[in-house]
Amino acid sequence: MSIPDQKIYPRTSDKSTVYLKPLIKNPSILIGDYTFYNDFKNDPTDFEKNNILYHYPINHDRLIIGKFCSIACGAKFIFTSANHTLNSFSTYPFPIFWEEYETLPVNIVRAWDNKGDIVVGNDVWIGYEAVIMSGVHIGNGAIIGTRAVVTKDVEPYAIVGGVPAKIIRKRFKDDVIKKLQMTSWWDWDIEKIKKKLKFLTTMDIENL
């Protein structure tokens, strides 16, 4: 399944909302079909520059976002190079300024601790100005509250908020979550999704 014609703007005359997949150039950023970003402050087509921060090739870390995700204005993904190492007496990034300290080896990645990929599941809603930190994995169907700072993994279909983000509640009972995970509706053909919309947009799990 893929977006028809890889269009950028899903709504006629709305230039503040974009599908992200056709905009991404960096091979270390993988965005699923129909995942969209809305920005009423800046040009949403600049998502890769404005919202994915400290993402440098030297670390080989990736941003992976699933299908049918909703990303609100100002959400940020903060990668490893924003960190300073905690594995030395000083947090000062001496390796970055190796020209000033010629006796140190030129090993820039020692200036920070590598936390790894950011992985966001499918059908995830990331709220206004939320921040997702490096190494975090967010499960399918989760909701990230406005201005939450997510420093730890989020379970599927959990709602989290706060600084640092903590679980508020689960969206559904465990048996419903299990069934939703098993359906993997985000992987269905788009024609099947259209036929099932009346169930996707309500809570009729049996017919879904």
- Active-site positions read 84
Alpha-carbon distance 55 to 48, whole Å?
10
How many residues in the chain? 208
In this structure, what token pair is assigned to residue 79? 């990668």
Q: Phi and psi dihedrals of 14, rounded to 5?
A: -110, 105
At 51, which amino acid appears? Answer: N
Q: Residue 59, by phi and psi: left (phi above 0), alpha (psi -120 to 50) or beta?
A: alpha
Instruction: Determine contact, residues 123/140, Cβ cutoff 8 Å.
Output: yes
- Whole-angstrom CA distances from 154 to 16, 114, 182 are 28, 19, 18
Instruction: Indicate the pairing of strand 166-170 with strand 137-138.
Output: unpaired
